[in-house]
């Protein structure tokens, strides 16, 4: 066995999107916890941990969601960022059919920023999980790592989970179900993510201290 030692690869500082809620997921955001458990169920090993660090440190420099298609760029140790693409299997259901399936009251809760448990039951009846699943969803990255999902894909998945805290309806949009009109179903939707060199909570605390609020 070779005893040659290779220097550790240190990712370049990207100042991209930074996950805010992965360490302390709000108690009521059960769908986010299910999303994170689904990533763990992929058995990515150390790649999952590195991906989570990438998501928290801001190594993902762009992230776009168009229907059930996701495109992102992630900066690693090399000068050029890697390209990441994820295609989530769409739910074979229209928005109206989805609303009828879960009930008007549950649909109203989603519009109010909550996620009723009946959504999981509805997906189960359709034979599809609302969370990332190997063998069902398609993952691709331009990095040389032959194992997919790689740490760059994992970082994007963790960022999507972070966005789910503030926008539960993203869980449905990633499966092709839109709560808006059909004309907007294929349009690119903005994500509630913080992009900067510091965590949002730290930045707000700094502002509060300067203004004398705290």
Mean pLDDT, consecutive 10-residue segments, the chain of 214 residues? 52 79 89 96 92 93 94 89 95 75 84 88 90 95 90 97 93 85 57 71 55 60
The total number of structural domains that make up the chain: 1
Is residue 60 assigned to a domain? Answer: yes
pLDDT at 104: 82
pTM here is: 0.83
pLDDT at 68: 92
Is residue 18 assigned to a domain? Answer: no
pLDDT at 179: 74
Is residue 5 assigned to a domain? Answer: no
Is residue 177 assigned to a domain? Answer: yes
Torsion of CA 201, 204, 208, 211, to 10 degrees: 170
Is residue 55 assigned to a domain? Answer: yes
Is residue 196 assigned to a domain? Answer: no
Domain that holds residue 42: 30-181
pLDDT at 154: 97
Query: Which CB contacts under 8 angstroms, 24+ apart, belong to 108-114?
Result: 110/168, 110/169, 110/172, 110/179, 111/169, 111/179, 113/167, 113/168, 114/28, 114/168
pLDDT at 1: 47
Is residue 135 assigned to a domain? Answer: yes
């Amino acid at each position: 066995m070779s005893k040659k030692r290779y220097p550790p690869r240190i990712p370049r500082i990207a100042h991209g999107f930074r996950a805010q809620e992965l360490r302390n997921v709000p108690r009521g955001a059960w769908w986010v916890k299910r999303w994170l458990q689904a990533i763990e169920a992929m058995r990515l090993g150390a790649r999952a941990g590195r991906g989570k660090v990438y998501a928290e440190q801001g190594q993902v420099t762009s992230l776009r969601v168009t229907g059930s298609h996701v495109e992102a760029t992630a900066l690693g140790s090399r000068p050029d960022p890697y390209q990441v693409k994820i295609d989530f299997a769409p739910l074979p259901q229209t928005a109206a059919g989805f609303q009828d399936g879960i009930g008007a009251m549950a649909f109203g809760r989603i519009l109010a920023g909550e996620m009723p448990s009946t959504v999981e039951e509805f997906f189960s009846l359709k034979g599809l999980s609302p969370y990332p699943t190997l063998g069902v969803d398609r993952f691709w990255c331009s990095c040389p790592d032959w194992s997919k999902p790689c740490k760059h894909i994992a970082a994007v998945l963790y960022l999507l989970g972070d966005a789910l805290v503030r926008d539960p309806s993203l869980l449905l949009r990633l499966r092709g179900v839109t709560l808006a009109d059909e004309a907007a179903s294929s349009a690119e939707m903005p994500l509630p993510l913080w992009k900067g060199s510091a965590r949002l909570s730290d930045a707000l605390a700094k502002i509060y201290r300067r203004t004398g609020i705290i």
